[in-house]
Amino acid sequence: MSSTSRRPRLVKADFDTVLLPIIPNPASFVSGWMSLPDELKRQVLGHNLTSSSPVRLEDARANSGLNEIFMLRHHMHTTSEIASLAREVFYKTNTFELTADINRNYYRYTEFHLPLPGPTVRPLIFRLEYNFYFRWPDWDMFYRLMQGDYGLTGLKHVTVFVTWHFLNCTRSRPANFQELLQLTGFKYDVVLPVKGKVVFGRDLSKTLNDHYNGAVEEMVRAKFQFGKLE
C-alpha cells in the first residue's frame, strides 16, 4: 500500500561531519609531501581553501551561508603541519565579509558585536568587506576596527558597503543630513593606511532627488580616507 501527498515536505537535519582517511597514506605519499617546499604546499592547499566569493564571518552557532569553520574543518583533523598551513592559507587568500551583529540570548537582543575569528588568526586576514548600516554602533565599531582594537592588523584592502536604512527618516528633513550623520555616530573620519573603496548599496535616485543623492554620497565618502599600502 502506498500513498502520495498533495503537499510534499522536505525533511532534513544538519549534523556535524568530520572527514577522516579510510586508510593510512602510503609511505610514498608521505615522503613526497614532506619533500615539497612550503610555498608549493600552500598552493596545493589553496585549491580547496580559497573561495571565489567572500567568506562570511559569523557566529559559530549560525547555520546559513559559507563560514570559515565549514571550509577549514576537514583540514584541521589531519596533521599539525597541514592544519597550520591550511589555517594560514585560508585566512590570507580569502576575502571576508563582516557585519556587526546583535547578540542573541534566549531570544533577547543585547549589545552589538563583531563575529570575528579567534585572536591568533585575525592578523592573517588581508582583505575585508564591511557592511555598514546607518545605525548608532556601526560607525564606532568600524572606527575601532580600523584602529586595530579588534586585532585585524594585517589588512591590505578594505571595501565598505553602505546601506541606506536611514532614508525613510530623511524625506521630511532632507536638509538635515549632517545632523542625522551625527546621530548615527558619524563624529570623526576614518583614516586607513591601506587601499580601499566605498560602495553604496543601492541607487538613491529612487528615493531622493539627484541633488541630495550627491550631497549624501559626498558627505559619506569624505569620512573615509584610504591609503596606498598593499
What range does the domain containing 67 cover? 24-93
pLDDT in tens, 3-45: 666 666 666 655 555 555 667 778 887 888 889 999 999 999 9
**Cβ atoms 186, 147 nearer than 8 A:** no
Are 179 and 72 in a shared domain? Answer: no
Give the domain-ending residue among 55, 75, 93. Answer: 93
Are 146 and 220 in a shared domain? Answer: yes
Domain for residue 19, yes or no? no
Assigned C-alpha cell, 60: 559559530
Domain for residue 11, yes or no? no
pLDDT at 173 over 80: no
Are 99 and 89 in a shared domain? Answer: no
Predicted local distance difference test score (pLDDT) of residue 66: 45
Closest by CA position to 138, among listed 108, 160, 155: 160
Report the distance separating Cα 113 and Cα 116, nearest Å. 9
Residues whose CB is less than 8 angstroms from the CB of residue 35 and which lie 6 or more positions away in sequence, other chains included: none
**Cβ atoms 180, 169 nearer than 8 A:** yes
Are 227 and 191 in a shared domain? Answer: yes
Give the domain-ending residue among 37, 66, 93. Answer: 93
55 has which bridge partners? 96
- Total structural domains in the chain? 2
Closest by CA position to 145, among listed 182, 98, 202: 98
191 has which bridge partners? 225
